[in-house]
């Protein structure tokens, strides 16, 4: 446990509260501060302003009873582990509270300092492990960007918002041109470093609330909501392309990098537009851009006489 542990105790029975405070106070080798409140509303208020390490929660309080108490507290506790203190007859509610997201429960009749500390320590550890797993499950390890799973979730919410507000959103799909050649010639470490730099440059142009995610390999997706004018999307495409007008330097090597960008707009109409559909259309737009780039490169290289276009 951290050197100082802040615990919020929500308990309406003054004797019980004093007992818990004494137990924690006398615990050897720890530095614990207990804040005691005696109603759910005071408890919910307290967690808004103080980042507690754990919450000890009595289920039966003057302003709330049973499972409701746990559910309401969990709604505001976010990442703070909640440990339920149960009396006789609370077991069912306690088990339901665990299902709802509480970390543990302790019967008040069994309370000892050791048990309390153990429960608090495990709760804190489990919670940080959970947060770590959540982060790993939703963010790309290499770039730190949202991964495919989080992108799908964010897009689903953005689509719902666009439907309500009728404010267009634009999905940009982009990939790094000839990325395979970088990997093949300079190796995967250089390739990874290039992708990280691409991610950083993309992040640098976004406003708060926009999403840039790594879809797979060298493919990225940018989601811009509330884009009031559709013509802005071309300007954003330009802005993204211009991010790569300076080459990427990795150690002593220089990589001229360019991207192909495809954009698709969703204006909130049309029920068939879901995440898959929009990404598919953005993908097609990106391949069109890639084809245009290839043909312009071909016509640049081939003498005019043999040019097909």
Which stretches of the chain bind Mg ion, using CB under 5 A? 12, 58, 60
In sequence order, what are the residues at sequence separation of 6 or more whose Cβ sits closer than 8 angstroms to the Cβ of residue 32? Answer: 4, 5, 6, 7, 24, 25
In sequence order, what are the residues at sequence separation of 6 or more whose Cβ sits closer than 8 angstroms to the Cβ of residue 172? Answer: 221, 222, 223, 224, 233, 236, 237, 240, 261, 262, 263, 282
Q: How far is the CB of 126 from Mg ion (least distance, A)?
A: 25
* Cα–Cα separations (whole angstroms), residue 235 to 53, 113, 241: 46, 63, 10
Q: How far is the CB of 60 from Mg ion (least distance, A)?
A: 4
Q: Which is nearer to Mg ion, 58 or 218 (CB)?
A: 58
Task: Name the residue whose CB lies closest to Mg ion.
Answer: 60
* Cα–Cα separations (whole angstroms), residue 176 to 192, 197, 259: 12, 12, 4
Q: How far is the CB of 105 from Mg ion (least distance, A)?
A: 14
Q: Which is nearer to Mg ion, 94 or 176 (CB)?
A: 94
Question: Out of 53, 104, 175, 218, which one is annotated catalytic?
Answer: 218
Contact criterion met (CB below 8 Å) for 7 and 106: no
Q: Which is nearer to Mg ion, 90 or 104 (CB)?
A: 90
Q: How far apart are CA 193 and CA 82, in angstroms?
A: 41
Q: Which is nearer to Mg ion, 84 or 286 (CB)?
A: 84
Q: How far is the CB of 87 from Mg ion (least distance, A)?
A: 7
Burial of 246 (0-12, 13-18, 19+ CB in 10 A): exposed
Q: Which is nearer to Mg ion, 86 or 211 (CB)?
A: 86
Contact criterion met (CB below 8 Å) for 143 and 196: yes
The answer to whether residue 218 is catalytic is yes
Q: How far is the CB of 61 from Mg ion (least distance, A)?
A: 6
In sequence order, what are the residues at sequence separation of 6 or more whose Cβ sits closer than 8 angstroms to the Cβ of residue 7? Answer: 24, 32, 33, 34, 35, 52, 53, 54, 55, 56, 120
Phi, psi dihedrals of residue 222, rounded to the nearest 5°: -115, 130
Which residues make beta-bridge pairs with 56?
A: 9, 83
Q: How far is the CB of 38 from Mg ion (least distance, A)?
A: 9
Q: Which is nearer to Mg ion, 60 or 167 (CB)?
A: 60
State whether the Cα torsion 189-193-194-195 is positive or negative.
positive
Q: What residues are annotated to the active site?
A: 218
């Amino acid at each position: 446990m951290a050197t100082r542990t802040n615990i919020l105790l929500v308990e309406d029975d003054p004797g019980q509260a004093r007992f818990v405070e004494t137990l924690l106070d006398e615990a050897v080798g720890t530095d614990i501060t207990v804040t005691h409140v005696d109603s759910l509303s005071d408890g919910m208020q307290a967690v808004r302003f103080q980042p507690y390490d754990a919450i000890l929660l009595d289920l039966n309080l003057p302003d709330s009873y049973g499972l409701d108490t746990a559910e309401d507290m969990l709604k505001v506790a976010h990442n703070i582990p909640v440990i339920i203190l149960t009396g006789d007859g609370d077991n069912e509610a306690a088990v339901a509270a665990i299902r709802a997201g509480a970390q543990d429960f302790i019967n008040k009749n069994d309370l000892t300092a050791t048990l309390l500390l153990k429960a608090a320590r495990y709760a804190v550890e489990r919670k940080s492990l959970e947060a770590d797993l959540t982060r790993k499950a939703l963010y790309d390890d290499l770039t730190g960007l949202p991964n495919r799973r989080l992108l799908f979730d964010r897009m689903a919410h953005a689509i719902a918002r666009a439907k309500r507000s009728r404010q267009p959103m634009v999905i940009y799909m982009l990939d790094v041109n000839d990325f395979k050649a970088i990997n093949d010639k300079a190796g995967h470490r250089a390739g990874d470093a290039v992708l990280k730099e691409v991610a950083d440059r993309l992040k640098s142009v976004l406003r708060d609330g926009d999403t840039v995610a790594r879809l797979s390999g060298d493919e990225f997706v940018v989601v811009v909501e509330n884009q009031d004018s559709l013509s802005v999307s071309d300007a954003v495409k330009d802005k993204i392309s211009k991010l790569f007008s300076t080459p990427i330097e990795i150690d002593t090597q220089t990589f001229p990098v360019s991207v192909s960008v495809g954009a698709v707009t969703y204006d909130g109409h049309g029920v068939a537009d879901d995440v898959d559909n929009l990404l598919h259309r953005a993908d097609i737009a990106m391949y069109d851009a890639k084809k245009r780039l290839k043909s312009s490169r071909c016509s640049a290289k081939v003498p005019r006489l043999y040019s097909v276009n």
